[in-house]
Structures are given as structure tokens and as C-alpha cells.
Structure 1
Amino acid sequence: MFHRTSPSNGKGSPRVEGFYDKASGSCQYIVIDEATKAAALVDIVLDFDPAQAATATDSAQEIVDFVKSEGLKVEWILDTHPHADHLMASAWLKEQLGAPAAIGAKVRDIAQLWRGIYNTPDAFDVDRDFDRLFDDGDSFTIGELEARVMLSTGHTLGSISYIIGDAAMVHDTFMHTDAGTARADFPGGSASDLYRSLQQILSLPDETRLFVGHDYGTEQREDPAWESTVAEQRAHNTHIGGGVDEQEFVTLREKRDATLSLPDRMLHALQVNLRGGRLPEAESDGHHYFKIPANKF
């Protein structure tokens, strides 16, 4: 996996190790308190082959191996939202590391929405499958680092950002400055809500390091990029930089979203991620089965 380090800027500032999953374009993070070697894992990927509906833990194992090689104590397994483009490795990581798994409290609402899409009214017990459901404004610690939760809707109706010292894990809101912003056309998404979330992130101090959830490169840039600052995004983001107003952004975002296909993992991923990274219950033959709605999208 492509890997890059963002060093700590001193007391109260985390070291952030970023790992890139090429298959899904996902950026995964280990957030580290240098003083205590406590760590949190953010948006870690469970490998998935859509052609064979096959899962594997090779990429997540690389994260675990890095944690062990650095002598880190993982205190949190964090996800920012129920991802549409990858399966989350949280349940497997919890088995390996014993740390609690957390996500935003509004994932309860996302679960209700997807129960209807899958026609599974009794599925997705979010309170059972996650150890902590964070509300907007909640705080927690990673070692001696102070962290807080910011509701950042738009891509989904329950997405959250984690503000940890001078670092912010902002998932599918911004992308890198030369790539713009995340799509807002999934069920429960809203380009207007996304604009407001982007503006709230831009209200953080200029020097805040922003770590995004995805990168797919550009025609001018081949290597993945996932770190920028508030000041850089405000000035240079290709969709919203330089003071673009809400209506202009919504028009641009919705026009762009209308050209995009569904991620090839989406209909598999949501029924795993709304179970905290667990496959649907095994059936009488011992195998797990996905339920895929036909002609709903």
C-alpha cells in the first residue's frame, strides 16, 4: 500500500500515518499520540472483490502489522460514515485489537433508509454493532490528544468529521484541492448540506491539516494525495475555492453527480457497513449471502 507520514507539530498535535487502498481509492489513517503511543484507526478498508463477492483482510492486516511494529496501543476504531465505496474492516479490527468501534449517531437514520431499500425491516442493529455512536459536539481522547466530533452531512445524512488537535479527518467532504469535493447523490445525500459542511470545515484554523477520504488522481497527478490545510482548500479547491457561493456550488455538484455511476461495491458495502463491518448472518449451509436490489437505481 502507498503510505505517507504527516508528522506531529508538537504537544497536542497527532502524527498521522496515511495508507492508500488503490482498489477503492480510499485513504485510511492511523492517528497517533506521540506522547503515549496511543492511536486511533480511521476508515480502514476490508478487501472486497465484487466479481466474486469475496472478502479478505490483507490490507487491514498491513495496518495491524504497522501498529504492532510501532508499539502502538489502539484505543479507537473509528469510521466517519457507512461507506458506499468500500467495506469497513472495523469488526475484524475489533477482534484483532480489542478496541471499541465508533461511528456517528445519525447512522441510525441511514440504517432506517437502507432497510427500505433492501426491504429488510429488521436488519441493521446499529446500537448493537457499534460500541459508541457519536453526536455532534461529542469529545473523547486518544492518549493525551483531545478529539471532538463535527457533524458533516451532505455525502450522507450521518457523516461525521473527527477534529484531533490540529488534524481533521474530513472523509467524503473535500477531496484534494485539485480534485474538488465528494459526490452528494447517494440516498440521503444533499449538495446543499455538503456545501454547509464544507464551510464549517473551512471555519477551522487556517493551519489545520485536512485528511480526506478518497483520491483517484488527476490527469496531471498520478500519485494519490490526501493532505492539505484549511487555507489551501479555501484558496485553491477547484469546486469551492475562492469564495464560490452555495447556488453555484450546488449547480456544479449536481451536474457532476448526474454523470457518475454507482460505485461497484455500493450495494454490497452498505449491508456490511451498517452491521459494523460484519457480513449478513450465515445461513443453514454456513455461507453468507448478500441481498442486492434489482432496478432500484
Structure 2
Amino acid sequence: MDAQPAPITLQNPTIHSLFEARTGTWQYVVADPSTLQAVIIDSVLDYDSATQSISTQTADAVLYLISEMGYKIDKILETHAHADHLTAASYLQQQIAKQQGNKPSICIGKRIRQVQELFGKRYGIPAEEYDGVFDELFDDNYVFSLGALDVTVLHLPGHTPDHVGYKIGDNVFCGDSLFHTDIGTARCDFPGGSAISLYESAHKLFELPEHTKIWTGHDYPSGDRSAPVPYLTVRDHKERNKHVSQNVTMDEFVSRRRERDATLAEPKLLNPSLQINIRAGRLPWPTPLGHRFVHLPLKVTSSKW
């Protein structure tokens, strides 16, 4: 029998970037072109704060793409517990299980436990509603397979303590660590956030080859830039990132980041996002009458109470 040539391992994935304009969120479907195995990163569940209603148009568009491309979803990945949009991870898991016959794992970094405990207590959520909702909790630098490709989990704290990124070939999906160079970096004033840690995370990314693409979790185009941009290279950020370029010292960054954070209002969807996202996108358990509730903290300003 003639010897067969060794299979060629493709080093880079096929990447589909899907922008959700209401929350300025980038979602990604990332596939190994040789096997059509794929993952979903940072999905969005639609939420209307005016009517307190949840819908699935954005997630259904992801499902349509997966079906059209013939992808087999292995995992649904979260970079962190988002505070500005609701994750569609649980909904996608259910629908993919029906369509493909397999139940993809919902995955996140291992430090999600401390975030769940913090916000579970803050919102009065019983622990049984969020314990075990993530199927896999990743260790730092953990490597798993996506078809013929490797995915490396990078701990990128700063925005939140549980924050991770995913390196696939010459690409890093960095979540809310770095934004477009004309925006800079994410805020660090959430519980467990740290400007020092975010600076160190940015420089961890800067150690990668300069052609590496950094795919961000959000974009908010303004001014002369009218269209959202999903990625820039390590070189772009080192040379042009307005907050953390290579010429900015840690002390300068920390000072500017803290000054900036002090002026920011809380995200509009903070309360529903955190309550749903520590549950991996599952809805709150229904009451005996069938209602589901998220809690809204009251801010009492009068000293007479």
C-alpha cells in the first residue's frame, strides 16, 4: 500500500464576528475549517428594559449561521460574567442540543465562583440557582482541542477578577480587556476589578507576536469612525491604544483609569445582566404563580428612613 501523506493541520480558525448594536457587543463563532467543530464566544440574549421582556432574535441569528455553515458546536465560551448584556448561553445550549443531538458545554474561568457568591448574596439569589450551572471551569493556561486546533485559556483580570481570554491560532478573544485603540480599555471599578491587573493583562497580550489579532468584546464607534471594528493587532495596540500603549507606564495608566472610572455611570443593564449571567444565562426559578423575577436595588437618599 502506498504511503499516504500526513494530514495538514490548519493553524488558524474561521471566525464569524456578529455585532449586537443595542449593547455594542461582539459575539463570535469560531470554527476549525478542517473538521467544522466550532465554539461560540460571548453570546447575547435580547432584553428590553422598558418592558422587562427577553427575546432571542440575536441568539437565533447565531443558530442560523451555525446551521448554514454545518458547524458542530463543542463549547459555548464566556470570557467573564458580563455586566452590560445578558448571555444567551443556556438558550443556545438547549437549542443546539435539540438540533445537533449533542449538548455543548457552557464554559468560563474558574474564578467565576467568587463572582457568583458575591452577586448571589447581593441580589438574594439562592445558591442552588447558580451552583453547577457552568459545565466547565477553566484553569489558567488550560488547553483544549477545537477540532485540529488548540485553544489556550488566558487569565486576563482587571475588568473583573474572573476574566479570561481564548487564544486560537494567531487570534485572542480578549472579552472586555482591550477595546478599539481610540477607546482604550475597559473600566476596572466593579467588585474585584483592578487597574493594576488590567495593565498587566494588557502587557501579557503585548508579549504575543505583533501580528496576533485581538478580538474585542465590545465596540462603541463615534466621530469619524462610524462602523464597529472586531479586531486590531497587538502592534496596533502597542502603538496606538489611547490608555495602554507601550509608552504608558503603569502609574500613568492606573491614575488615568481610576480618574475615568470615577466619572462613569453604572451600565444600564447591570442588575438584570449580573443576575442572569451568574446563572449562565438560565432564567430565575419561577414562583408558585409562574412569575420569574430579577431584583432591582433601591437607592434611598433620604436620612429619614
Q: What's the TM-score once normalised by structure 2's chain length?
A: 0.91
Secondary structure class of the residue paired with 1:88: coil
Matched residue, 1:117: 122
Matched residue, 2:275: 271
Q: Distance in 1 between matches of 2:110 and 2:203?
A: 22
Q: Distance in 1 between matches of 2:271 and 2:194?
A: 19
The 5 A counterparts of 1:22-171 are 22-97=21-96, 98-120=103-125, 122=127, 124-126=129-131, 128-171=132-175
Q: Distance in 2 between matches of 1:296 and 1:276?
A: 30
Q: Distance in 2 between matches of 1:52 and 1:94?
A: 26
Structure whose alpha-carbon radius of gyration is higher: 2
Q: 1:110 to 1:138 in 2, by over 3 A?
A: same
Q: Distance in 2 between matches of 1:189 and 1:131?
A: 25
**Deviant stretches of 4+, over 2 Å:** 119-126
Matched residue, 2:207: 203
The root-mean-square deviation of aligned C-alpha atoms, in Å, is: 1.5
Letter in 2 for 1:18: S
Q: Distance in 1 between matches of 2:176 and 2:128?
A: 25
Shift of 1:233: 0.8
Q: Is the 8 A contact 1:85 1:263 kept in 2?
A: yes
Matched residue, 1:5: none
Q: Is the 8 A contact 1:124 1:274 kept in 2?
A: no
Letter in 2 for 1:33: D
Shift of 1:123: 5.5
Unmatched runs of 5 consecutive residues or more in structure 2: 1-8, 97-102
Q: Distance in 1 between matches of 2:91 and 2:144?
A: 23
Q: Distance in 2 between matches of 1:111 and 1:122?
A: 8
Q: Distance in 1 between matches of 2:113 and 2:231?
A: 30
Secondary structure class of the residue paired with 1:87: coil
Q: Is the 8 A contact 2:10 2:148 kept in 1?
A: no
Residue of 189, 192, 198 corresponding to 1:194: 198
Shift of 1:124: 4.9
Q: Is the 8 A contact 1:173 1:194 kept in 2?
A: yes
Q: Distance in 2 between matches of 1:228 and 1:268?
A: 31
Q: Distance in 2 between matches of 1:33 and 1:261?
A: 40
Letter in 2 for 1:99: P
Unmatched runs of 5 consecutive residues or more in structure 1: 1-9
Tell me how many residue pairs correspond in the alignment: 287
Q: 1:117 to 1:296 in 2, by over 3 A?
A: farther
Shift of 1:242: 3.4
Q: Per-residue displacement from partner, 1:186-244 (whole Å, max 9, x unpaired)?
A: 12211111111111111111111110000011212111112111111111111111321
Matched residue, 2:252: 248
Q: Distance in 1 between matches of 2:223 and 2:187?
A: 19
Tell me, yes or no, if structure 1 residue 285 matches structure 2 residue 284: no
Q: Per-residue displacement from partner, 1:8-39 (whole Å, max 9, x unpaired)?
A: xx821112110100010100001111111111
Shift of 1:143: 0.8
Q: Is the 8 A contact 2:129 2:285 kept in 1?
A: no
Matched residue, 2:228: 224
Moved more, 285-294 or 75-84: 285-294
Q: Distance in 2 between matches of 1:157 and 1:242?
A: 23
Q: Distance in 2 between matches of 1:161 and 1:132?
A: 15
Identity among equivalent pairs (%)? 37
Q: Is the 8 A contact 1:115 1:122 kept in 2?
A: yes
Matched residue, 1:19: 18
Q: Is the 8 A contact 2:276 2:284 kept in 1?
A: yes
Q: Distance in 1 between matches of 2:55 and 2:285?
A: 17
Shift of 1:120: 3.7
Shift of 1:125: 2.9
Q: 1:101 to 1:136 in 2, by over 3 A?
A: same
Letter in 2 for 1:251: S
Q: 1:296 to 1:150 in 2, by over 3 A?
A: farther
Shift of 1:115: 2.4
Secondary structure class of the residue paired with 2:65: helix
Shift of 1:53: 1.4
Q: What's the TM-score once normalised by structure 1's chain length?
A: 0.93
Q: 1:96 to 1:120 in 2, by over 3 A?
A: closer
Q: Per-residue displacement from partner, 1:93-135 (whole Å, max 9, x unpaired)?
A: 1001121110111000111211232244635534x11110001
Matched residue, 2:219: 215
Moved more, 87-96 or 113-122: 113-122
Letter in 2 for 1:169: F
